[in-house]
Each structure stands twice: as structure tokens, then as C-alpha cells.
Structure 1
Amino acid sequence: MQYKQQFFYLCKTPLSAEGPEHVEVVTRAEDSEDFPRVFKEYEELRSHAFNEDKIYSVVRADDIYDLVRTGTEKEAKEEAYEKAEQEIITNLQHRVMQDGDANAKGILKEVYGIEE
């Protein structure tokens, strides 16, 4: 097995993402000493999605942020999308049920094949 350097990538997956190509790498930790900076940014970007009890709620999220540890930006985007996909579906379903959001309904139907 050949050694492959790994980095922590902070990724942003929009609710409208249709695949890894729509995931944005916000930043990455260049080494272990840089990780606290990336983690702090991750916490700040997700802060709007916390409820009054300080618990993260995916239905309050405008975008899905995730920390991924892997070797390349391409792999980070793929892993981030895979991890975010179920949260995106949950968020969109909530928007359809609560607000009758036609855009969310369209994304669910066209991208995920889910009729709401």
C-alpha cells in the first residue's frame, strides 16, 4: 500500500446540488496545526442551522457543510455529496410540507425521483 497524504476539506453542498460537481470546497487544512482554523469556519458556517436548544437541525440549513478527510479535492466533493444527499432530501421534503415550496418540489422530482 502506497502512502497518500490526506487533508481535511470543508465542503459546501447547496440544496440544489445534483451531484459532486455542484459541491464547493470552501477551504482545506494544510496540516494538523491548521485544522482548528478550518473547524472554526465549519462551525461558523453551520451556526444559522442551530435551533434554540443549540442543536443542529438539517431542516434549518440553507446549505449543507461537511468536513471530509481525503486525499484530493475531487474525492472530497464526491464524499461530501454522498454524505449530504440524505440531508438535502430531508430539507427539501420539509420545505415542501411546511411551505409548499414549488422549487424544492421540482428538485425532489427531477433530481431524486421523489413525488411529494
Structure 2
Amino acid sequence: MNQDDRLAYFVVVHGMDVQTFEQMAIHFACRRGGMRALDESRYISIPVTLDTIGRTLTWVKTKLDGCYRELYLIVSVEAKLSWSEVVIPAEIALLAGQSKAAIKVLLSN
């Protein structure tokens, strides 16, 4: 099985108000997210592919700059892979860096 079949990518935006959440939910046709109990701010998690990561991060930075607190690019790795088998493409680091998005790697089952 190809490594790409075992990696999933998400752009996660934290710390937005209700209006910004709605704007993103409509634009990306995605309502994966919720509310933080501590500060009642919203977050949204948008599934992306290697082909759409750049466009998604660019849209968030240009349309919402200043309307959120945190921006992440999540790389979810299926746990059947060992760390030595995972290669995250350099283009992902470049795209995340250009958008000032932190990269988080998560293991999933």
C-alpha cells in the first residue's frame, strides 16, 4: 500500500467568532469543528489534499487574516506505519511556512 493512502491532511483554524466560522463553513462546505469551553471561540477542521493545501492556506490568510488566533496544518498518520516509513513532502513545510501555519503530526488508528 502506498504511503499516501495512510496520510490525511487537515487545515485547522482556532479562535474565531461565529461569523468567521460561518464564512469558512459556507466557503469550504464543511462544518467539522466546535467551540472551546474556556473562551467560547470556534474552531474548524477542513479536510484537504496535497493539491488543495496551498489554496486553502492562502484563502485563510488572505480572507481571514487577523480574524483567528491559531492556524495549523495537521498531518494525520495511520498508526500501522512506523516513523521510519513516513515521508512528509517538503512542499507541505514550504506551504505551511508561507502561511505561518504550525505543522502538527498526529498518529491515528
Scaled to the shorter chain, the TM-score interval is 0.3 to 0.5
Bigger radius of gyration: 1
Normalised to the residue count of structure 2, the TM-score between the two structures is 0.34
Say which structure, 1 or 2, has more relative contact order (CA 8 Å, 6+ apart).
2
Normalised to the residue count of structure 1, the TM-score between the two structures is 0.33
Structure with more strand by fraction:
2
Structure with more helix by fraction:
1
